[in-house]
């Protein structure tokens, strides 16, 4: 089975930095896209950043210029460098991975981590 495990969350003051990491278990899988989502109580989960196997990155407008996503395809791992953190960045952050299309039908599968809490104090 495939499992995604996040690490690196914690408590930090506004203006500080954190680096999140997502490691995968299992073998025989190739992810076409990996990324990070975040969610606060009462709100829907939203995309923070993602990166494709081709190296194309996408960021939410609220984090552009502050966050950087990177990927190690050989390790099936993804990282999120978070700089200049703001209180509004406080949320549970979830790792996401989507397999590359496979088979005649081009089926894809989505996996989620358990989440890691990021809290930014003012």
Reading the chain (122 residues) residue by residue, the pLDDT tens digits are 788 999 999 999 999 999 999 998 866 677 889 999 999 999 999 999 999 988 999 999 999 999 999 998 888 899 999 999 999 999 999 999 998 888 899 999 999 999 999 999 99
Which residue carries 């993804």 as its tokens? 78
* pLDDT for 9: 97
Six-digit token pair at 115?
């989440």
Report the alpha-carbon distance of residue 114 to residue 103 in Å, rounded. Answer: 29
CB 57 within 8 A of CB 78: no
* pLDDT for 25: 82
């Amino acid at each position: 089975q495939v499992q995604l495990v996040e690490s690196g969350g914690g408590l930090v003051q506004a203006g500080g930095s954190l680096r999140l990491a997502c490691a995968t278990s299992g073998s025989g899988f190739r992810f076409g896209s990996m990324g990070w989502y975040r969610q606060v109580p009462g709100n829907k989960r939203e995309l923070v950043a993602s990166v494709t196997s081709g190296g194309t990155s996408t960021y939410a407008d609220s984090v552009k210029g502050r966050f950087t996503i990177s990927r190690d395809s050989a390790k099936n791992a993804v990282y999120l460098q978070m700089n200049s953190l703001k209180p509004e960045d406080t949320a549970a952050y979830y790792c996401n991975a989507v397999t590359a299309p496979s088979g005649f039908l081009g089926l894809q599968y989505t996996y989620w981590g358990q989440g890691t809490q990021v809290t930014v104090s003012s």
